[in-house]
Amino acid sequence: MSDSIRSEQEEYFEQLCLAVDAGETHEQEAIEYFEEQSHESGFDAAVWLDIALYHAPDVARGIIDFVDESDRERSDIAQTIADTLDISYGEDECERFEATIRFALANGVPVDLDVVLDGCNRALDDLEGWASADTMAPLVRLRDALFAMQTGN
């Protein structure tokens, strides 16, 4: 996610989000943990939002209203997604990334689409020459969706 060192609470929240994504726990547990921790010193809502956006969109939907506009503006979800497209380019992942980006944009989280497009193009360049068209198809669809978002289509 980020190059900075995470707190134990952020690590635990990430584990909760992963458990929600895996269907091992209900998103309410992660949402309640977010709310509890939001009053602690050193809490950075932007980091926690990015964790939820990336790992558990259901949790992100539950916490978005608790994240101030200034914290939403500091989100780095575009870079996080772009940095993982070289290893996360399957159908489910690309569909999820598109849905996450759309959700973020609809909820006041700025997403630099150029950054994600660069990530798509880097991943496609890495796959070119050895991967089949079927393997590359989800990334191509994501790239096309990003272009459409940029142009407002």
What are the pLDDT digits (tens) for 106-145?
Answer: 999 999 999 999 999 999 999 999 999 999 999 999 999 9
pLDDT score at 4 = 63
9-47: pLDDT as tens digits: 999 999 999 999 999 999 999 999 999 999 999 999 999
Q: Exposed (0-12), middle (13-18) or buried (19+): which is 129, by Cβ within 10 Å?
A: exposed
Provide Rg for the chain, Cα atoms.
16
Q: What is the pTM of this model?
A: 0.92
pLDDT score at 63 = 98
pLDDT band at 152 (very low <50, low <70, confident <90, very high): confident
15, two tokens: 């584990």
Longest Cα–Cα distance in the chain: 51
| Cα 91 from Cα 136, distance rounded (Å) | 9
